[in-house]
Amino acid sequence: MLNYKRYRPAPRIDFPERTWPAKTIEKAPRWCPVDLRDGNQALISPMNIAQKLEFFRLLCRLGFKEIEVAFPAASQTEFDFVRTLIEDKLIPDDVYIQVICQCRPQLIERTFEAIKGAPNVIFNAYNSISNLQRDVVFHKDAGMVRHIAMEAVDLIKTLRWESGIEGNFVLEYSAESFTGSDLKFAHSICESVKEIWQPDPVNNPMIISLPSTVEDHTPAGYADMIEWMGTHLSDRDKFTLCVHPHNDRGTGVAAAEMALMAGAERLEATLFGNGERSGNCDLLTVAYNMFSQGIDPGLNLENEPEIQEIFERCTGMQVSDRHPYAGKLVFTAFSGSHQDAINKGIRKMARDKSDVWAVPYLPIDPADIGRQYEPLVRINSQSGKGGVAFVMDSYYGYKLPKSMHGELAAKVQEASEDGSELKPQDIFDIFEKEYINATHPLEMKTIRILDTAFDHGEMQTLIRLEYFHNGDIYIAKGIGTGPLDAAQAALEDELGIHIRIKDYSEHSLTEGSAAEAVSYIELQDQESGKTAFGVGRSSNTMVAQMRALFSAVNRLQLVR
């Protein structure tokens, strides 16, 4: 049994003044992908400079204006990457590179060497303020931790002016492990560094980041802390409030969204949630979530497969099959009821010519993010008649009569009972074998029709059928109100059977002079009451009808 008594719940702050639960997200935050450092340090094989350059170019194409690129004081590779970006002039004029650095003097000085000549820089200085790390790792009291942060910000301020960087320089102070700290202490340390920096949105911009470095609170608890800080920090209009959620509880996206509702204006996260332990918040999921609610994320995310391909190639990570929006199965339905609902939703949108997406089980149109409809519906033993009918219509143009859906679905399920998944071509092959190629023991050869007028003015059709029966040729003749009625009479008389056409429908498969017609006939044996469908296909409508009739007779197994 799990020893749950070893653990204590994260404390929820007493904050009855909270307003965020009644708010909604109405616009995108300032995005900052941290894949090139925070994500990169979590890889088994970190990216080399060439891979980081390709990833950086991808982030620029996607429209990110703030990109964390490195911890230049951490290694020579990190330092060299920053210098490559600057010296080779690879940074677009409207993009800020973000560098991260611990609040240690020698590391800060080394970081300033790395960013020399950069057009736009965000200098992210951090130190851990959590109660646990102060006690276990640093052995420092609150005052000492505050002094570390204040001394670092003062040094950054001095080096900024000494280095001649006049503008386009933003300080970010990150209170690492914010959610593990005493809230009043977090407030006091942020006030202290802000007092030193003297932020001004135009001339001296500043970001205060409140990370959930280890996700130890519920998303609602994190949002409470963010709103509390946002409402208690002074000069709220002079700095940007940023969040950096991790995903240890598996709720990083929810924490980010609630934090934005609580007043956060900027989000640091990674593509597909890559990061240490359970990863960072998934930036793309947050962005696509906004898109699904009719909010412009402000990014170029129309080609998700390309984003995923570059991410997987550069990082060596694999996006799971069920990953939101990106997994290869997320726009796929196996359940029969789901397939049927998707089918009906897409048909209704086409009929209504609606510009508003409204399809059950599909929160967005896969085509909007570069995904294909081809894998939309997949068939296995759990699938139902709606999915089979959808495949036949969408892929092959066969609009099966509703009463036929169950009959074909039963055949398809038989073929997948071993647990295998059937592709659309597999389903079509079953359909052709079961219906189109149902030519034994009877197979139509030729038709000859003669209309005869009677004295009372009505028309009746005389038909002459030439057909194979177990390979031998036979002839049958019949009279009826039309070709199909006459053919039914001919077969009944010749074969000694008693049948009734319960349902008949037809449609065109292709357009143009060589268009093929397909006919569906539901036939009932008058003696047993058993029914079966037959299908015929031909460029001649009459031939399609006759082939459907013969197919149905064969499937009823009325003759040997």
If you write DSSP's letter for every residue of 428-480 in order, what string do you get?
HHHHIIIIIT--SSEEEEEEEEEEEE-TTS-EEEEEEEEEEETTEEEEEEEEE
Q: How many CB atoms lie within 10 A of CB 148?
A: 19
The token pair at 281 is 């918040």
Report the Cα 359 to chain-centroid distance in Å. 15
60 in Cβ contact with 92 (< 8 Å): yes
49 in Cβ contact with 82 (< 8 Å): no
Identify the residue whose tokens are 């940023």. 242
Identify the residue whose tokens are 């190629």. 437
468 in Cβ contact with 461 (< 8 Å): no
Domain positions in the chain are 27-298, 336-436, 442-556
Interhelix angle 283-292/252-261, rounded to 10 degrees, is: 60
- What whole-number distance in Å separates Cα of residue 546 and Cα of residue 544? 6
Indicate the SS3 state at residue 520: strand
Note the pLDDT of residue 375.
44
Residue from 124, 138, 296, 287 nearest 206 by CA: 124
Note the pLDDT of residue 125.
98
- What whole-number distance in Å separates Cα of residue 351 and Cα of residue 373? 19
- What whole-number distance in Å separates Cα of residue 317 and Cα of residue 536? 50
259 in Cβ contact with 23 (< 8 Å): no
In DSSP terms, which residues pair with 467 in a beta bridge?
A: 444, 474
Residues 6+ apart with CB under 8 A from 431: 392, 398, 408, 535
Report the Cα 544 to chain-centroid distance in Å. 42
Q: How many CB atoms lie within 10 A of CB 500?
A: 12
- CA angle centred on 186, ends 184 and 189, rounded to 5°: 110
Q: How many CB atoms lie within 10 A of CB 320?
A: 13
Report the Cα 204 to chain-centroid distance in Å. 40
270 in Cβ contact with 283 (< 8 Å): yes
Residues 6+ apart with CB under 8 A from 344: 360, 386
Note the pLDDT of residue 560.
82
- What whole-number distance in Å separates Cα of residue 409 and Cα of residue 426? 13
Longest Cα–Cα distance of the chain, Å, equals: 115
Edge-to-edge strand ranges of the sheet holding 472-480 = 442-453, 459-469, 472-480
Note the pLDDT of residue 469.
95
Mean pLDDT by 10 residues, the chain (560 residues): 90 94 97 97 94 98 98 96 97 97 97 94 94 68 90 96 80 95 95 97 94 95 98 97 97 98 98 96 98 97 97 97 93 77 87 93 94 60 73 88 91 81 87 95 92 69 94 93 93 94 92 80 94 95 95 92
The domain defined by 442-556 carries CATH number 3.30.160.270: yes
C-alpha distances in angstroms, 250 versus 218, 273, 452, 456, 515?
A: 10, 10, 78, 81, 54
Q: N- to C-terminal Cα distance for the chain?
A: 66
Indicate the SS3 state at residue 98: strand
Residues in the chain: 560
Phi, psi of 230 (to 5 degrees): -65, -30
397 in Cβ contact with 510 (< 8 Å): yes
Edge-to-edge strand ranges of the sheet holding 66-70 = 30-33, 266-269, 240-245, 206-212, 169-176, 121-128, 96-102, 66-70
Residue from 31, 107, 99, 529 nearest 267 by CA: 31
- What whole-number distance in Å separates Cα of residue 145 and Cα of residue 280? 25
CATH homologous superfamily of 27-298 equals Aldolase class I (3.20.20.70)
Identify the residue whose tokens are 């933003």. 170
Whether pTM > 0.85 for this model: the answer is: no
Q: Which amino acid is at 187?
A: H
Indicate the SS3 state at residue 312: helix
Edge-to-edge strand ranges of the sheet holding 517-525 = 499-508, 517-525, 531-538
- What whole-number distance in Å separates Cα of residue 485 and Cα of residue 489? 6
Q: Which amino acid is at 489?
A: A
Q: Which amino acid is at 384?
A: G
Note the pLDDT of residue 55.
98
Indicate the DSSP class of residue 41. G
